[in-house]
Homo-oligomer: A and B are copies of this chain.
Amino acid sequence: MTKTVTVIPGDGIGPEVTREALETVDALGLDLRFDLLDHVNADTYLRTGVSLSDEDFGRVKASDAVLFGAIGDPRVKTSDYGRGVLLRLRFELDLFVNHRPATLLHEDLSPLRDARAGAIDCVIVRENTEGLYADIGGVLRENTEHETAVDADVSTYMGVSRVMEYAYSIARRGVCMVDKSNAVRHGGKIWQRVFKKAASRNPIIRSTHLYVDTAAMKLISDPSQFDVIVTNNSYGDILSDLAAVLAGGLGNAGSANINPVTGFGLYEPVHGSAPDIAGRGIGNPFGAILSYALMLENFGWTAEASALRRAVGTAISERRVTADLGGSLGTKEVGEAVRSALSAR
């Protein structure tokens, strides 16, 4: 059955890496139809004040997935634009899992002294629809010296349960639940309670718990201990970027924002729009390609997803990479390297 995929290339290096990743996925000859929304970007926002129109939202919703390039532009000074696109889609489509794999594809890529390839091979499962991102809160005595602001960190049993269930469903060796229940007590109790239930329902999986400060340290000092890390929206934001850097840098990191119940997903490289290098054709396309691999996997095309990942690994071993990985190739040439590895399989 044909899968329809909305494509939002967005800003900065978004369009460049998206083009390359799409061409690479095309080479697999799968039954995919693309609906291009290339007007969703900062230019449009600056002209109209609209981040994502209801019509465009409708087109996204009618499709099976959305592929994102990057959203962000130095000319836009408000966070409303980014929130209006990315967070709107996460919340309104109820994409409650942010799935962020961190796999070291080649030991040269690690900033750590004693990293062996494979020493980092984990997935951060980040709750994606509540916590501090609920946008509930307000200010008293705004713009005075007596201003007080409150942002609510909201946790629900339902919300924590469904993301915990997802974490256990993908775990191979273990689940490490990360919270700060020794200080942030109310939400902490829900996370602890749900975690204990899930752990006892999954006796074969090794269940462990760390406070977020310790988890950040252990990611550096002993990353190989982790398989799946499950945590809230805010800690997940931090730990997933941390893990990405340890696994070779943001340029290689892909992500999936998914609703495992409806099957809908938003797939996005993690690097952002990188305005400093935009337009020069030197952005690293691996993040986009690996994000699209996550999409293929969720569509059930697991062999093709693995092939994509292996092809990226081959390009890295051959050092056919962009400058952020120590190479000198452009986006297009790296894309070609991946496609030639794909056709050689």
**Is A132 a contact of B184 with CB atoms below 8 Å?**
yes
A172 at the interface (CB under 8 A from B): no
Residue interface bits A162-193, CB-to-B below 8 A is 1, else 0 = 00000000000000000011111111111001
Give A240-284 interface residues, CB cut-off 8 Å to B: 240-242, 244-246, 249-250
Chain B contacts of A156 at CB under 8 A?
146-149
**Is B213 a contact of A150 with CB atoms below 8 Å?**
no
Chain B contacts of A147 at CB under 8 A?
156-157, 190
> In the complex, what distance in Å separates the CA atom of A182 from the CA atom of B71?
13
Q: How far is the CB of A277 from chain B (nearest CB, A)?
A: 16
A82 at the interface (CB under 8 A from B): yes
A137 at the interface (CB under 8 A from B): yes
8 contacts between A and B (CB under 8 A): A137-B185, A138-B186, A146-B156, A149-B155, A150-B153, A150-B155, A152-B152, A213-B241
> In the complex, what distance in Å separates the CA atom of A161 from the CA atom of B281?
43
**Is A153 a contact of B151 with CB atoms below 8 Å?**
yes
Q: Given A87-B183, A148-B157, A184-B132, answer yes or no on A221-B245 (Cβ-Cβ < 8 Å).
A: yes
Query: Which one of B145, B146, B153, B212 contacts A153 once the chains associate, using CB atoms below 8 Å?
Result: B153
A33 at the interface (CB under 8 A from B): no
> In the complex, what distance in Å separates the CA atom of A151 from the CA atom of B184?
7
A112 at the interface (CB under 8 A from B): yes
Q: How far is the CB of A20 from chain B (nearest CB, A)?
A: 24
**Is A250 a contact of B186 with CB atoms below 8 Å?**
no
**Is A183 a contact of B250 with CB atoms below 8 Å?**
no
Q: A147-B156, A151-B153 provided; 16 other pairs, C-beta below 8 A?
A: A79-B183, A112-B112, A139-B190, A146-B158, A148-B157, A149-B155, A149-B186, A150-B153, A150-B186, A151-B155, A151-B186, A151-B187, A152-B153, A180-B234, A217-B250, A235-B238
Q: CB within 8 Å of B: which residues of A?
A: 79, 82-83, 87, 110-114, 132-133, 135, 137-139, 143-158, 161, 180-190, 193, 212-214, 216-217, 220-221, 234-235, 237-238, 240-242, 244-246, 249-250
Q: How far is the CB of A198 from chain B (nearest CB, A)?
A: 14
Chain B contacts of A146 at CB under 8 A?
156-158
Query: Which one of B113, B186, B240 contacts A139 once the chains associate, using CB atoms below 8 Å?
Result: B186
**Is A151 a contact of B185 with CB atoms below 8 Å?**
yes
**Is A220 a contact of B217 with CB atoms below 8 Å?**
no
**Is B158 a contact of A150 with CB atoms below 8 Å?**
no
> In the complex, what distance in Å separates the CA atom of A138 from the CA atom of B234?
19
Who on chain B is nearest to A132 by CB?
B184
Query: Which one of B83, B182, B213 contacts A82 once the chains associate, using CB atoms below 8 Å?
Result: B182
* List of 4 A-B pairs having minimum Cβ-Cβ separation, nearest first: A149-B186, A79-B182, A147-B157, A213-B241
Q: How far is the CB of A220 from chain B (nearest CB, A)?
A: 5
Query: Which one of B181, B186, B212 contacts A137 once the chains associate, using CB atoms below 8 Å?
Result: B186
> In the complex, what distance in Å separates the CA atom of A237 from the CA atom of B82?
27
Q: How far is the CB of A89 from chain B (nearest CB, A)?
A: 14
Chain B contacts of A111 at CB under 8 A?
112-114, 220-221
> In the complex, what distance in Å separates the CA atom of A154 from the CA atom of B111?
36
Who on chain B is nearest to A246 by CB?
B220
